[in-house]
């Protein structure tokens, strides 16, 4: 996917998420998300942290996390969720609409991946729905498959072939798992989607 097309998807998905968040009650903001240890508010704050990331604060956070990137991200999201109200978080989405900034060491595919997957982390526990654009989900799936950190998808899914049922996309070798590209992206990022089928499902259960 071309860079500008990727950014257009980021813009659209962030705007859709902001609209969804603007209608939440305080109880919904405090609902546990799909991400262990994060509330809906924490996840929402994390997604819009990307265009706000600056080198020195990130380096300081990494030092405090003793070099553990996952720990740094986890704590940063929890701190932001505790610091900002829901209205303030939504205002950040409006303020940074159209931003092309992303953290050092990442590509535009990473904010796209972030907003696609984390939107699902928010809507699922709230009993809401938001459909991923299939082309955007395929680009994000390519990104996850091509890099080992942090999801280790190739290692986790060794012996499986993932095949999308709604777009021309596949990856891996082995027993087949088939389903919508959105669900395959969730699988690649360590979630447990429900719309998958194929001989590889049993093999997948053995891995979990």
Mean residue pLDDT across the chain: 91
For the chain, how far is it from start to end, CA to CA, in angstroms? 32
Q: What is the pTM of this model?
A: 0.91
What the block records as the tokens of 126 is 């709230």
Which of 70, 91, 126 is a domain's end point?
A: 126
Residue 117 has pLDDT above 80, yes or no: yes
CA distance 188 to 163: 12
Count the neighbouring beta carbons within 10 Å of the beta carbon of residue 176. Answer: 16
Domain match, 12 and 68 both: yes
CA 12 to chain centre: 15
In 3D space, the residue among 198, 4, 13 whose CA is nearest the CA of residue 93 turns out to be 13
Q: How confident is the model at residue 204 (pLDDT cuts 50, 70, 90)?
A: confident
pLDDT > 70 fraction of the chain, expressed in percent and rounded: 90
Which region among 19-23, 36-40, 62-66, 153-157 has the lowest average model confidence (pLDDT)?
62-66
Q: Is beta strand 160-164 parallel, antiparallel or unpaired with respect to 170-172?
A: antiparallel
What the block records as the tokens of 181 is 């590209």
Domain match, 80 and 181 both: no
Which of 126, 155, 179 is a domain's end point?
A: 126
Domain match, 186 and 117 both: no
pLDDT digits (tens, 9 = 90+) for 81-102: 999 999 999 999 999 999 999 8
pLDDT digits (tens, 9 = 90+) for 168-180: 999 999 999 999 9
Residue 188 contacts residue 145 (beta carbons within 8 Å)? yes
Domain match, 158 and 174 both: yes
Residue 33 contacts residue 43 (beta carbons within 8 Å)? yes
CA distance 134 to 23: 25
Give the CA angle between residues 62, 21, 102 to the nearest 5°.
35
Predicted confidence at residue 63, as pLDDT, reads 57
CATH number of the domain within which 165 lies: 3.30.1050
pLDDT: is 110 or 206 the higher one? Answer: 110
Predicted confidence at residue 23, as pLDDT, reads 94
Give the CA angle between residues 136, 142, 148 to the nearest 5°.
135
Number of Cα atoms under 13 Å in the Cβ half of residue 22? 11
pLDDT digits (tens, 9 = 90+) for 178-188: 999 999 999 99
Domain match, 151 and 92 both: no
Q: How confident is the model at residue 148 (pLDDT cuts 50, 70, 90)?
A: confident
pLDDT digits (tens, 9 = 90+) for 121-140: 999 999 999 999 999 999 99
What domain range is 101 assigned to?
3-126
């Amino acid at each position: 996917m071309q860079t500008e097309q990727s950014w257009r998807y980021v813009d659209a998905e962030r705007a859709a998420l902001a609209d969804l968040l603007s209608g939440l009650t305080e109880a919904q903001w405090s609902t546990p998300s799909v991400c262990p240890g994060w509330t809906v508010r924490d996840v929402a704050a994390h997604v819009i942290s990307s265009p706000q990331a600056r080198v020195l604060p990130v380096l300081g956070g990494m030092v405090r996390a003793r070099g553990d990137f996952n720990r740094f991200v986890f704590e940063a999201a929890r701190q932001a969720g505790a610091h900002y109200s829901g209205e303030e978080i939504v205002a950040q989405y409006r303020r940074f609409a159209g931003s092309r900034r992303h953290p050092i060491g990442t590509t535009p595919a990473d904010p796209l991946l972030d907003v696609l997957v984390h939107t699902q982390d928010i809507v699922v526990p709230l009993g809401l729905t938001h459909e991923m654009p299939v082309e955007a989900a395929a680009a994000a799936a390519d990104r996850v498959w091509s890099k080992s950190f942090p999801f280790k998808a190739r290692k986790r899914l060794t012996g499986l072939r993932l095949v999308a049922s709604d777009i021309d996309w596949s990856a891996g070798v082995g027993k087949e798992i088939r389903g919508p590209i959105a669900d395959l992206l969730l699988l690649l990022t360590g979630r447990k989607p429900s719309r998958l089928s194929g001989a590889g499902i049993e093999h997948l259960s053995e891995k979990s």
